[in-house]
Structure 1
Amino acid sequence: MEEDTSEEEKGLWMLSVGGSSCVSGSGAGLVLTSPDGWTLEYALRFRFKPTKNEAEWEALIAGLTIAKHLGVQKIEASSDSQLVVGLVSGEYEAREDSMAEYLAHFQSLKSAFQMLRVLKVPRAENA
């Protein structure tokens, strides 16, 4: 028996992103899941020293860029970064130039999707 899925949820891809920055190295991970349940997993290693928030942005932008190139139309991204989600939702204002640049890059990617949601999830649930 098929699940009753709303029209908005049909064809919805899921993107989970996370970034990390520490003395020993910096990177990010992302998992992109299709509506059919197959997953693409990526690990990113940075050749620059990002802040934790910059690493989170890099993961989100990389995931959305991959989704765009795959022709994804509907996507829901989850991040444990309160700052990134707050900036995307308009709840926060970008005070640093780097955050404003990341937000502008996100906004330019946003138009590639019919539907794009970015949700805040607890770190423990961000897989």
Structure 2
Amino acid sequence: MVLEEPLGIRQFQLDFQCTNNRAEYEALIIGLEMLVELGIQSVEILGDSMLVLKQIAGEYKCLSPSLVVYLVAARNLLTEFKEATWEHIPREENLQPMNWPR
């Protein structure tokens, strides 16, 4: 996961075994928690998991009992922001932010 915020770019990786969807939610929640701690008021989420983004938007139901906890946590964290947007990007475009030095 990459977190780009006013103080710079931070990158971290989850270090445990889990499903792709769980990893997507874990990374999202960790990033949102960090932004809340920093007092950030606006967040733009760019993700390659259509499932997670559509569940957050309420367009898809979360049918997995193990993921419902993550969905609720992510939605609760999103209420901490004055503005929150999310956009799906193809996985091949989600490898490195476009404005990073190459």
Query: TM-score normalised by the shorter chain: which range applies?
Result: 0.7 to 0.9
- Matching residue within 72, 77, 81 for 1:113: 81
* Bigger Rg, structure 1 or 2: 1
- 8 Å Cα contact 1:88-1:118 kept in structure 2: no
Compare the two structures and name the one with the higher helix fraction: 2
- 8 Å Cα contact 2:14-2:23 kept in structure 1: no
SS at match of 2:43: strand
TM value normalised by structure 2: 0.85
Identical positions, percent: 37
1:88 CA drift (Å): 0.8
**2:51 aligns to what?**
83
- Matching residue within 46, 55, 69 for 1:101: 69
1:94 CA drift (Å): 0.6
Q: What are structure 2's unaligned runs of at least 5 residues?
A: 97-102
- 8 Å Cα contact 1:79-1:120 kept in structure 2: yes
For residues 117 and 98 of structure 1, the distance between their equivalents in structure 2, rounded to whole angstroms, comes to: 25
For residues 10 and 22 of structure 2, the distance between their equivalents in structure 1, rounded to whole angstroms, comes to: 22
For residues 47 and 14 of structure 2, the distance between their equivalents in structure 1, rounded to whole angstroms, comes to: 16
**2:92 aligns to what?**
124
TM value normalised by structure 1: 0.69
1:70 aligns with 2:38: yes
Q: CA RMSD in A?
A: 1.4
**2:99 aligns to what?**
none
- 8 Å Cα contact 2:3-2:11 kept in structure 1: yes
Aligned length: 95
1:34 aligns with 2:5: yes
Q: What are structure 1's unaligned runs of at least 5 residues?
A: 1-29
Any runs of at least 4 consecutive aligned residues in structure 1 with deviations exceeding 3 A, and if so which? none
Higher relative contact order (CA 8 A, sep 6+): 2
